Amino acid sequence: MDSHIPMADMAPAFPFQRTCPFHPPPQYAAARAAAPVCPVTLWNGKRAWLVLRHVEVREVLSDDTRFSGAMADPDFPAITPARVTVDKNERAFVGMDNPDHDAYRRLFTREFSVRRMLALKPQISAIAEQLLDEIEAHGPPADLVAMLAVKFPSLVMSALFGSPYEDHEFIIRCAVARHGLTQSVEEAEVKARELAAYVRRLIDTKEARPGDDMVSRIIEEHVRPGKLSRDDFAEIGAMILRAGHDTTTNMIGMGTLLLLQNDAMRRRLAADPALIDGAVEELLRFVSPVQYSPRRVAKEDVVIGGVTIPKGEGVFMPLASANRDERMFDAPDTLDITRDASQHLAFGFGIHQCLGQMLARYELQIVYTAILRRLPNLRLAVPLEEIRFKHDMQIYGVHNLPVAW
């Protein structure tokens, strides 16, 4: 072994803790300055590798010959014991390598096409306005997480996917059971199975009574012609539902809080809504809510940034580190909605790059603009110390955001 690579028992324990709620753990910057790749020790004593700089993260994520994303692989690195179980049972394409990944993903790309997303925009705007009507009617103080950040993506997913809105609390419970850091193995397993079973029942319902929604269209285009089994569709549908809820919710909560903390920036954006597209990219860069994915396992010994990652060892690519890499972004720890943040990796990179990214962008552009227009004097209704940050979750954000206006 190269002399400059520490043994597993000398490698620091991962994950690291944040010391400031608005920034990633400080160990990322320190390690990034020292080397592009750094060894860590996981909860089970196994060694894994953190790839911390923008250029190497792209290198690993583009290389699906030497790095596998097969979650069922016993060497695939997991952040908690529950995650091992969840990964082992993942049947959707997020956990597959090629050629299977592309074969399945291709069946769903039209559902997330520019045309489909543009057609959905008026509905997304109407949902934002409706929720802000409810907030205005409720009056201050209101918890923006409960009243907006959670409900908004649920209503949008309901319109797109075809899941009845009444089921959104169940869907969120299933998503959160997977994204928590403290849940039991049993809880994670049960909730993963329950959500797939739910989508399987929804497929039966839509086969009998089709609507204008994703489930009905996929049945017609791919299930009936025999290109996709109902069970595979149930697993993929469950993954899409989970992915569509929690991530956007956290960007709404955390992004709004950041704008409230930066009053001049908030006023500037409110005065010039044309800045919104760039502002959303910068907020995505700055927050990078997906904390412990993407992950891969080395299929052979691979040298990355001069460091050998041995065959069978796991790799984490904390996107919050790549998105704060000073080699890519000037003053990366400064939030600046006027910078060009378009190279951020908050949606991942390579074959598993987020399928819902256009939807997420439209949702965020619409919802932040509506919040700033409808609640121009928005402010926190409690001291910052009373905001509970999601240190306990794999998707980072805030549990509560009491606001007044």
Residue with Cβ nearer ligand HEM (192 or 355): 355
DSSP string, 7-69: PGGGSPBSSPPPSSTTS--HHHHHHHHH-SEEEEE-TTS-EEEEE-SHHHHHHHHH-TTTEE-
Residue 69 beta carbon to ligand HEM: minimum distance, rounded to whole angstroms: 7
Shortest reach from residue 171's CB to ligand HEM, in Å: 12
List C-alpha distances in Å: 366 to 111, 126, 289.
Answer: 20, 10, 19
Computed on alpha carbons and rounded to an integer, the radius of gyration of the chain in Å comes to 21
* Residues of this chain that bind ligand HEM (CB under 6 A): 93-94, 105, 239-240, 243-244, 247-248, 251, 289-290, 293-294, 346-348, 352, 354-356, 359-360
Instruction: Give whichever of 41 and 248 is closer to ligand HEM, judged by the CB atom.
Output: 248
State the Cα–Cα distance between residues 141 and 146, nearest whole angstrom: 12
Backbone angles phi, psi at 56, to 5 degrees: -75, -30
In the complex with ligand HEM, the residue whose CB is nearer, 5 or 398, is: 398
Closest by Cα among 143, 190, 140, 198 to 169: 198
Q: Which amino acid is at 316?
A: F
Distance of closest approach, residue 347 Cβ to ligand HEM, in angstroms? 5
* Shortest distance (Å) from residue 79 CB to ligand HEM: 12
Alpha carbon distance 380, 402 (integer Å): 6
Least separation in angstroms between residue 262's CB and ligand HEM is 19
Q: Smallest gap, in angstroms, from Cβ of residue 137 to ligand HEM?
A: 27
Pairing assessment for the beta strands 142-143 and 47-51 based on DSSP bridges: unpaired
Give me the least distance between CB of 359 and ligand HEM, in Å please.
5
- State which residue has the least CB distance to ligand HEM: 356
Any residues with CB less than 8 A from the CB of 259 and at least 6 apart, and which? 265, 266, 269, 368, 372
Cβ 203 to ligand HEM, closest distance in Å? 17
Please identify, using beta-carbon distances, which residue of 143 and 281 lies nearer to ligand HEM.
Answer: 281
**Considering beta carbons, is residue 94 or 401 the nearer one to ligand HEM?**
94
Q: What residues does 49 pair with on adjacent strands?
A: 39, 315
Decide whether 93 or 152 has the Cβ nearer to ligand HEM. Answer: 93
Q: Which is nearer to ligand HEM, 240 or 372 (CB)?
A: 240
The candidate with the shortest Cα–Cα distance to 353, out of 275, 294, 282, is 294
Give the Å distances, CA to CA, from 79 to 25, 264, 292, 324: 16, 38, 7, 22
Query: Residue 379: how many CB atoms within 10 A of its CB?
Result: 13
Cβ partners under 8 Å of residue 204, min gap 6: none
Q: Which is nearer to ligand HEM, 6 or 348 (CB)?
A: 348
